[in-house]
């Protein structure tokens, strides 16, 4: 599906400069809303995100972003002035099953309900908000405080001889974030897994509306600590598009370098954790050492271990000196040698391979059914990568080689991580060698009229999307940030079926999905 091939009578092409992804925005009626969804499904395009909003004048709308071959399609369906009890917009879950949780979150936040949806259970409201409270409605002002009254959640039950349930979470033994996992099992074999998330909802989307647009990158950077570069870049990309700003080539190269360093840091950490979950503590020790060396260099070269607030509207806040570039390139060479040694150890360790091979298999068909993207999809035979398929600068100069595997199991997701580290190291050396001259930041003047922008960045976990609506004078009307975990969490429920309960930590870590970035 291509942007110019769609039957849209009135649409706006957003200005696209180097470093941005082409986008088209259109207002549609209900018939067009469904027609575009069916066209996307039939052409195997993907629904990226859904979100609700309310304009200052009290008009509600539901929005959808679609992945096209040449960019992003942003549709807006205006609903009634107040949400309707029987539903405010046509259900998309019948076309894209993974839309169900997004639609449930839309209702909890705005009161807009999908008409004729099969699943209307609450998603973000765990019973601690009144039933008539919707935090993204404009009349919800000030700081709300409610008495805690956690409600029971109607999990889907599996019945039959020998079937019992195992409840895990939401509070876990380690320092991971809260999430509830309800297993239906016979003996040790998993028949069904159902997840309950939303425990870390922090009101981020409301916070954007209380933050000047020029400072919104700081909010975006704090959505998820392991994806601070991806979220802040996607936000800045959307803001720069809305304001009609072109960022310098040097700034784009530095942004690319930061994104690849974030990717490598996360893959190093996960490879160690995966070894540990399979009883191979040596792997955890070695990869933890490499990750610590890596993020210490982040602090030395860029002033922050996790690269927080290094990307800002108009560019980046830190330049790269020649001696720093040399040190970064040398570290890439050193890490590459050590990772190659560890990969051979992993591949030759029979205990690891026995645990990895065949565990948590996600087939290509299931990955497509749930719209999975990123590392998990590439381990199941799909090859989409924003860097390679859309080629926003600086990736248009780099010819990204996409890592892919067809096995779909833990072993495949481990292999993809190893290969992506290699490719990121190659990309970083190229970025450092070809770093253009020029400034690393330009002044960004606030928009003088209402405007919109989109950001789409291939984070280490998958594609991070931001939709931004601005008013004049640096005002954010609405900012929606979307993490790829929205599509991958339901797929994980399927990947565990038929495995034993004891393999769930390993399978879960092989996806390493986001809680905070998913819940906002």
pTM over 0.85: yes
**Where do the structural domains in the chain lie, given as residue ranges?**
1-124, 248-443
Write the DSSP symbol of residue 227.
G
CA 210 vs CA 173, 215, 262, 455, 468: distances in Å: 35, 10, 28, 20, 14
Pick from 139, 223, 144: which is nearest to 480 by CA? 223
DSSP lists the bridge partners of residue 186 as 163, 189
Is residue 15 within 8 A of residue 237, CB to CB? The reply is: no
Contact assessment for residue 200 and residue 210, using Cβ atoms and an 8 Å cutoff: no
Residues whose CB is less than 8 angstroms from the CB of residue 227 and which lie 6 or more positions away in sequence, other chains included: 262, 459, 460, 461, 464, 483, 514, 517
Phi-psi domain of 132 (left: phi exceeds 0; alpha: psi -120 through 50; beta: other): alpha
pLDDT at 232: 98
Distances (CA, A) of 36 to 5, 189, 288, 367: 11, 41, 46, 21
* CATH T-level assignment (fold) for domain 248-443: Cytochrome-c3 Hydrogenase; chain B (1.10.645)
Helix (H) or strand (E) holding 228: helix 228-243
User: In the prediction, which pLDDT does 7 show?
Assistant: 66
- Residue 157's contacts (CB-CB under 8 Å, 6 or more residues apart) are 165, 184
Tokens of 181: 């996992």
- Count other Cβ atoms within 10 Å, centred on residue 281: 11
Which fold is adopted by the domain 1-124?
Answer: Beta Polymerase; domain 2 (3.30.460)
Structure tokens at 344: 């051979």
Cα–chain center distance at 14:
22
4 contacts: CB under 8 Å, gap ≥ 6? none
- Return d(Cα 205, Cα 200) in angstroms, integer: 13
Give the pLDDT of residue 53: 94
What is the pLDDT tens value at each position of the chain, 520 positions in all? 787 777 676 677 787 888 999 999 999 999 999 999 999 999 889 999 999 999 888 889 999 999 999 899 999 999 877 778 778 899 999 999 999 999 999 999 999 999 999 999 999 999 888 888 899 998 766 567 787 778 889 999 998 999 999 999 888 877 788 999 999 999 999 999 999 999 888 999 999 999 999 999 999 999 999 999 999 999 999 999 999 999 999 999 999 999 999 999 999 999 999 999 999 999 999 999 999 999 999 999 999 999 999 999 999 999 999 999 999 999 999 999 999 999 999 999 999 999 999 999 999 999 999 999 999 999 999 999 999 999 999 999 999 999 999 999 999 999 999 999 999 999 999 999 999 999 999 999 998 899 999 999 999 999 999 999 999 999 999 999 999 999 999 999 999 999 999 999 999 999 999 998 888 8
Give the per-residue pLDDT at 141.
60
């Amino acid at each position: 599906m291509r942007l110019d091939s769609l039957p849209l009578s009135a649409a706006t092409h957003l200005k696209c400069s180097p470093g941005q992804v082409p986008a088209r925005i259109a207002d549609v009626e209900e018939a067009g809303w469904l027609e575009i969804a069916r066209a996307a499904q039939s052409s195997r395009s993907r629904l990226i995100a859904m979100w609700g909003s309310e304009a200052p004048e009290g008009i509600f709308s539901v929005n959808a972003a679609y992945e096209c071959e040449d960019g992003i399609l942003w549709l807006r369906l205006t609903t009634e002035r107040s949400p309707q009890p029987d539903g405010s917009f046509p259900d998309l879950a019948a076309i894209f099953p993974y839309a169900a949780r997004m639609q449930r979150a839309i209702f909890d936040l705005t009161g807009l309900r999908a008409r004729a949806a099969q699943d209307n259970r609450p998603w973000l409201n765990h019973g601690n908000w009144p039933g008539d409270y919707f935090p993204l409605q404009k009349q919800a002002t000030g700081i709300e405080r409610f008495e805690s009254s956690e409600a029971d959640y109607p999990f889907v039950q599996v019945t039959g001889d020998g079937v019992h349930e195992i409840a895990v979470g939401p509070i876990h033994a380690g320092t991971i974030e809260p999430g509830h996992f309800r297993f239906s099992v016979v003996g040790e074999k998993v028949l069904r897994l159902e997840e309950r998330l939303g425990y870390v909802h922090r009101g981020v989307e409301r916070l954007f509306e209380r933050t000047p647009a020029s400072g919104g990158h700081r909010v975006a950077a704090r959505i998820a600590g392991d994806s601070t570069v991806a979220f802040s870049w996607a936000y800045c990309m959307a803001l720069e598009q809305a304001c009609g700003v072109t960022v310098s080539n040097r700034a784009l190269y530095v942004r690319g370098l930061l994104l690849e360093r974030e990717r490598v840091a996360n893959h190093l950490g996960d490879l160690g954790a995966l070894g540990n979950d399979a009883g191979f503590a040596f792997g955890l020790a070695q990869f933890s050492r490499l990750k610590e060396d890596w993020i210490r260099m982040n602090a030395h070269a860029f002033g922050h271990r996790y690269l927080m607030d290094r990307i800002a509207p108009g560019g980046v806040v830190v330049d790269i000196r020649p001696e720093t570039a040399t040190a970064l390139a040398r570290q890439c060479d050193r890490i590459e040698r050590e990772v190659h040694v560890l990969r051979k150890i992993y591949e030759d360790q029979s205990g690891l391979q026995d645990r990895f091979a065949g565990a948590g298999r996600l087939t290509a068909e299931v990955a497509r059914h749930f719209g999975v993207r990123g590392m998990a999809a590439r381990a199941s035979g799909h090859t989409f990568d924003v860097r390679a398929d859309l080629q926003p600068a600086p990736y248009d100069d780099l010819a990204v080689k996409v890592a892919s595997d067809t096995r779909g199991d833990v072993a495949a997701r481990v292999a993809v991580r190893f290969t992506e580290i290699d490719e990121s190291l190659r990309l970083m050396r190229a970025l450092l060698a070809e770093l253009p001259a020029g400034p690393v930041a330009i002044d960004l003047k606030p928009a003088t009229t209402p405007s919109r922008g989109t950001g789409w960045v291939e984070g280490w976990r998958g594609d991070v999307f931001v939709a931004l609506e601005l008013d004049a004078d640096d005002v954010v009307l609405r900012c929606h940030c979307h993490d790829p975990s929205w599509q991958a969490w339901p797929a994980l429920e399927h990947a565990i079926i038929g495995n034993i309960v004891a393999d769930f930590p390993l399978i879960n870590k092989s996806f390493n999905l986001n809680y905070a970035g998913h819940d906002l």
